Structure 1
Amino acid sequence: MDEENKKQLTENQYYIKTLAEILVLTATENVAQRSHRETSDSEKKGIFLSMLDLLSNHNPVIKKRLEQQAKNAKYTSKTIQNEILECLAGMVKKEIIQEVKKSKQFSVIVDETRDVQKKEQISFVLRYYYSGVVHESFLEFEVAEQMDAAALSDKIINFLEKHGLEYKDNLVGQGYDGAAVMRGAHAGVQAKIKEVAKHAFYVHCSAHCLNLVIVDAVKSVADAGNFFSLLERMYTFISGSYVHNRWLEVQREMFDGAPRELQQLSDTRWACRHIACRNVMDRLPAIVQVLEEIASEKHPQRAVEARGILAQIDLNFAGCLVLFRKVLSDSKYLSDLLQSKTVDYSKVVELVESLKETLIQYRSHDSFEEMWSETLELCTRSNIETTQHKPKRPRVTSKVLQGSVVASTLGQHEVPDNKHTFCVSVYYPVLDNMIGEIGRRFSNTNCNIMQGVQALNPSSQTFLREETVLLLAEAYDSNTEDLKHELHQIRRVLLRKKGQKESPTTLMEMTQFLDPYQDVFHELYRLCKIAVVLPVSSASCERSFSTLRLIKTYLRSAMTEKRLSSLAVLSIESKRAKSLDLDEFVKCFAEQHGNRRIQLL
């Protein structure tokens, strides 16, 4: 090849790499690449072409390409953009799949959401252990034409087969939400997947379980539901432009530091409502002051609404505020941990038990007395009356119902107005329902597999107990005879390491500790890897939905599904995307792009 051809080839490769770098940058930053009109004389031709023009002002090679190259050889069309994005995303996915295959054992996490076009988008995430770290890697979005169990399970199996994964033996876990179509024990997705992958243990998303614990506890106590409805109404009223300005002024007059905003209540993450409770509790004197001022103004609609809210801020409201601030604050730590990609199920079991024990401790006379003292102090600071001046009319059951067995409520709810009634009708019922729901929702932690997982956790009382570890081993067809010998030997190894820095204290550390000994402790190492890759929650899928909403907006709703999936991979797996080898990209693109107008190899 002569010098001129070499120079031309180098410039061609440099140019295509530049296009790829621009697309990687815009994709990882969730920036729209294209515009409505992309002609050369358009004032707004889109970020992609605008960045290319900017680079051409400082780079003679790019400038020469844009000015002298034929229109069909500039490689700036939407078709070429899609091919470059698909190639880049393919390289990221190839890297992930290679890691999964080396790891062998993996879990699949699936969830769905509706995009701006009302299409049902399925998010696929793989959880696996590689190079001492647990990864939860996003691979793609796919549109679901049907939402029945058969169609969804076929989608998952086709996804695994498409990427060449040995799911029949190596798929050890499947994580979904609690929808009936997903969790059905006989005809649900998890059951159909288990028919072809017998080791795929189903885990109901723990974050959803925790959310349902709080939701059910609130729904079962009428005063708790009324309390949160009042918080939402309070937020809406004070967030109005006129009232909000007064709200900021009152805070500056009454408190030091920056004014606080009331928080809108989340319907999907109830544990996060503790921030709303905390802000209302800290600023309750200012809230009462603002409502009293608005209630005395001449604007009739605002005044009536302010008086209505003010009338409900009473002793019962203050008690609920203190109670839920405390309970939701304790739940928030577990909720945050469940969002982590690296948390394992042994840690979840520990923290769920810890939360349950905390709630049981709250259900005592001393804890209630402490809570009630805090309630009275809050009422004093906020000028809320703590005594009932006017006795309420006693409720009388209808004579028609006398002598009958009534199987439903009569709408005769007794509003707590003193210490005893609040304790009996709100405090204990909320705690009892939460404790009961935790036991029910997280009951799968008592199954054989979860007991086996706990037996691999160095901080567990059953650590390396043979009969408990064998429960997990039998579920995953391990060689139990070899495992028994390995358990005997690993106890000796750990005994020598006891007290040293490298002595493991968690399930993850135990797995990392076995990395150098994986050939010696083959069965035990395999079980540890299975234990850490069992899915804990579908939070990674939920995070991918956030990216979906940033990419597929109302103005970008016409993009193809392939482009959407490619952009999502580059955005979510941005660390991998930014470290791609662009020389490898040139080879990949040259092989995939058949009708080349410029020579790349």
Structure 2
Amino acid sequence: MLYNFFANSVAHDIFIKKRREMETTSQPVELKNLSETRWSCQYTALVAIRKSLPAVKATFTEIMSQPNARRKTEARAVSGLIDEQFVLLLTLFEDLFRVTKFMSDQLQSPSLELSSAMDLADSVIATLTGRRAEESWREIRDRASDLCTKANVNHNETPERRQAQPPRHLQEFVVEAQIERTPVTSLDALRTECFYPVIDRLVVEMRRRFSTEAGGVLSGVSALSPKHASFLDKKCLQPMAKFYGVTEENLTPELHQVKRLLERKKQQGHELKDTAEFLALMRPYKDAFTDLHRLICISLTLPVTSAGCERSFSCLRRIKNYLRNSSGDARNINLGLLAINKQRSKALDVQRVIDIFASNHNNRRIVLL
């Protein structure tokens, strides 16, 4: 709502003027559009609102003194939402998003190992659990109070609410369930209704996504990486093998034979760099090491994040534009491969590609040579 209001040219010009007057030393920050999918964008939007809140309030005050009735009404409506509760929630979510942002950035790295992701999740869960304390709540309240003073937001101002009337069709019935949301009218209620539930929801969701059972599978994936310290460690591989139906009786002899095979290959000068090379080495022996070969294939197909798929979809959105609306699927697939695999496409010899294209299409009117 703030971003849409300040997207107007008049409001944006006043906002820039107020921001320059009030933030002479620090670098000015523009308000960001709130993204529903990108965690880092949400954190950036919260930081931008917090830094620009004094200029935002000053802009609303000046717009409400102008003669334009429509703009004045919109400014009064949006400004009425910025109260002490708004500032407190802004401070709370910025603090929580700051804790989880670095994890979100790390999880989008294509080179991140699954075991490292599990360790990172455990540290974030421990940090969030520690925030569920009276000291953390007091610190957030103090920071919110300082921001209210700086932005000229009234303290301890409880808006008047009309008395809620029960629905007419339920007046003759005994209703035991809650039929409407209870308004939060005090900071203590905000602590019990918002502060604790938000932290609990984050912790529960992260524990569900990074469960102990999943942690065993992740440690098994790391044990199949030649660069990891637990490479082919039976204790680390057992949880993953058990999860995918591989018995210990079959896994133990295969590990013993594969270790001897790798020692022989190492004496011949063949050093493994990653799991993909390990799979290529095991492919001729997949009938002899069936279970281990299957676990290697599974480890290579388990992604640490969906960021790669999301980048592919974003790339396809740029490729399939209105100029290429009549392109066939084969052409779009080829363009997508070139755009997604940038390293391979940049390594291509463009002049050689043009020569091959010109030699295969002699009837072209455009001379490419």
TM-score (norm 2): 0.76
C-alpha RMSD of matched pairs (Å):
4.3
Matching residue's letter, 2:176? V
Q: Deviations over 1:278-315 (max 9, x none)?
A: 01101111111111111122111111111111111111
Q: Deviations over 1:19-44 (max 9, x none)?
A: xxxxxxxxxxxxxxxxxxxxxxxxxx
Question: Gaps spanning 5+ residues in structure 2: where?
Answer: 261-271, 365-369
Q: Which residue of 1 aligns with 2:234?
A: 466
Q: Deviations over 1:207-248 (max 9, x none)?
A: xxxxxxxxxxxxxxxxxxxxxxxxxx1111112100000000
Pick from 176, 180, 204 the counterpart of residue 406 of structure 1. Answer: 176
Answer yes or no: is the 8 Å Cα contact 1:295–1:303 preserved in 2. yes
Q: 1:389 to 1:266 in 2, by over 3 A?
A: closer
**2:338 corresponds to 1:570:** yes
* Counterpart-to-counterpart distance in 2, 1:245 and 1:412: 39
Q: 1:510 to 1:550 in 2, by over 3 A?
A: closer
**2:61 corresponds to 1:301:** no
Q: 1:397 to 1:263 in 2, by over 3 A?
A: same
* Counterpart-to-counterpart distance in 1, 2:195 and 2:2: 23
Q: Which residue of 2 aligns with 1:372?
A: 141
Answer yes or no: is the 8 Å Cα contact 2:319–2:332 preserved in 1. yes
* Counterpart-to-counterpart distance in 2, 1:239 and 1:297: 18
Matching residue's letter, 1:234? L
Name the SS for the 1:283 alignment partner. helix
Q: 1:401 to 1:449 in 2, by over 3 A?
A: farther
Instruction: Kindly tell me the number of residue pairs found equivalent between the two proteins.
Output: 345
Larger strand share, 1 or 2: 1
Q: 1:394 to 1:357 in 2, by over 3 A?
A: farther
* Counterpart-to-counterpart distance in 1, 2:155 and 2:258: 63
Q: Which residue of 1 aligns with 2:152?
A: 383
Q: 1:356 to 1:486 in 2, by over 3 A?
A: farther
- Summarize the alignment of residues 201-240 of structure 1 with structure 2, pairs less than 5 Å apart: 233-240=1-8
Name the SS for the 2:199 alignment partner. helix
Question: CA offset at residue 342 of structure 1?
Answer: 2.3
Question: CA offset at residue 556 of structure 1?
Answer: 2.7
**2:315 corresponds to 1:557:** no
Q: Which residue of 2 aligns with 1:261?
A: 30
Question: CA offset at residue 257 of structure 1?
Answer: 4.4
Question: CA offset at residue 362 of structure 1?
Answer: 0.9
Q: Calculate percent identity across the aligned residue pairs.
A: 31
Answer yes or no: is the 8 Å Cα contact 2:234–2:252 preserved in 1. no
Q: Which residue of 2 aligns with 1:245?
A: 13
Pick from 304, 307, 313 the counterpart of residue 536 of structure 1. Answer: 304
- Summarize the alignment of residues 164-563 of structure 1 with structure 2, pairs less than 5 Å apart: 233-255=1-23, 256-388=25-157, 404-407=174-177, 409-416=178-185, 418-443=186-211, 446=214, 449-450=217-218, 452-453=220-221, 466-473=234-241, 475=244, 479-485=250-256, 530-531=298-299, 533-563=301-331
Q: Which residue of 2 aligns with 1:51?
A: none
Q: Deviations over 1:119-169 (max 9, x none)?
A: xxxxxxxxxxxxxxxxxxxxxxxxxxxxxxxxxxxxxxxxxxxxxxxxxxx
Question: CA offset at residue 403 of structure 1?
Answer: 7.9
Q: 1:487 to 1:357 in 2, by over 3 A?
A: farther
* Counterpart-to-counterpart distance in 2, 1:243 and 1:532: 52
Answer yes or no: is the 8 Å Cα contact 1:344–1:533 preserved in 2. no
* Counterpart-to-counterpart distance in 2, 1:451 and 1:389: 52
Matching residue's letter, 1:575? Q
Question: CA offset at residue 514 of structure 1?
Answer: 7.9
* Counterpart-to-counterpart distance in 1, 2:273 and 2:197: 40
Q: 1:327 to 1:577 in 2, by over 3 A?
A: same
Question: CA offset at residue 526 of structure 1?
Answer: 8.2
Answer yes or no: is the 8 Å Cα contact 1:315–1:386 preserved in 2. yes
Larger helix share, 1 or 2: 2
Question: CA offset at residue 480 of structure 1?
Answer: 1.4
Matching residue's letter, 1:362? R
Q: Deviations over 1:77-110 (max 9, x none)?
A: xxxxxxxxxxxxxxxxxxxxxxxxxxxxxxxxxx
Answer yes or no: is the 8 Å Cα contact 1:444–1:450 preserved in 2. no
Q: Which residue of 1 aligns with 2:348?
A: 580
Q: Deviations over 1:45-96 (max 9, x none)?
A: xxxxxxxxxxxxxxxxxxxxxxxxxxxxxxxxxxxxxxxxxxxxxxxxxxxx
Matching residue's letter, 1:387? N
TM-score (norm 1): 0.49
Question: Gaps spanning 5+ residues in structure 1: where?
Answer: 1-232, 490-507
Answer yes or no: is the 8 Å Cα contact 2:224–2:275 preserved in 1. no
